[in-house]
Amino acid sequence: MLTIGAPAPDFTLASDTAPTVSLQDFRGKNVILYFYPKDDTPGCTREACDFRDNVNHFTAANTVILGISKDKPTRHQKFRSKYQLPFPLLSDESGDVCSAYGVINKKSLFGNTFLGIQRSTFLIDPTGVIRGIWRKVKVNGHIEEIIATLLQKIG
């Protein structure tokens, strides 16, 4: 299990904005790395739009936002375009990055149990060290928590 102060696992994933995106591409910047279950579902849309609506706070704090789910890049493109999201969405179809960050958990829906992405967010500093972890995220109020932590860590 990843902890605050640990190095963030590096990755290279397919993106909706470029052939691939690597965590290393953002050395020198803070990174908000958020994992979400599925494009264009109610909670995931609300979360993405919260990031979109607060992007100026992140930009002012030298911070980029990266969203990761197991959806294909073409689905990400539609989702990103539909909601005018100003940050890349990355595709972890294999689930390897999700596993490295410990966000794959058992879920239950209509009596069926399956493995899925647990909504989680990581704050990674400019050197690649984890400075904040939120697991089992509830969308309401989450963006405010992230902004407060980011300001505290860099301020």
10-39 pLDDT tens trace: 999 999 888 899 999 999 999 999 999 999
**Any idea which residue has 């989680």 for tokens?**
120
Tell me phi and psi for residue 113, to 5 degrees.
-105, 140
What's the whole-number average pLDDT of the chain? 92
Let me know if residue 18 belongs to a domain.
yes
Contact criterion met (CB below 8 Å) for 106 and 123? no
> Annotated catalytic sites, by residue?
44
Tokens for 26, please give them: 């953002």
Let me know if residue 7 belongs to a domain.
no
pLDDT at 66 over 60: yes
Tokens for 37, please give them: 């279950």
How many Å from the N-terminal Cα to the C-terminal Cα in the chain? 27
What's the confidence (pLDDT) of residue 115?
75
25: DSSP letter: G
Let me know if residue 24 belongs to a domain.
yes
Let me know if residue 5 belongs to a domain.
no
CATH of the domain at 75: 3.40.30.10
pLDDT tens digits, 83-115: 999 999 999 999 999 999 999 887 666 777 767
**pTM as predicted:** 0.93
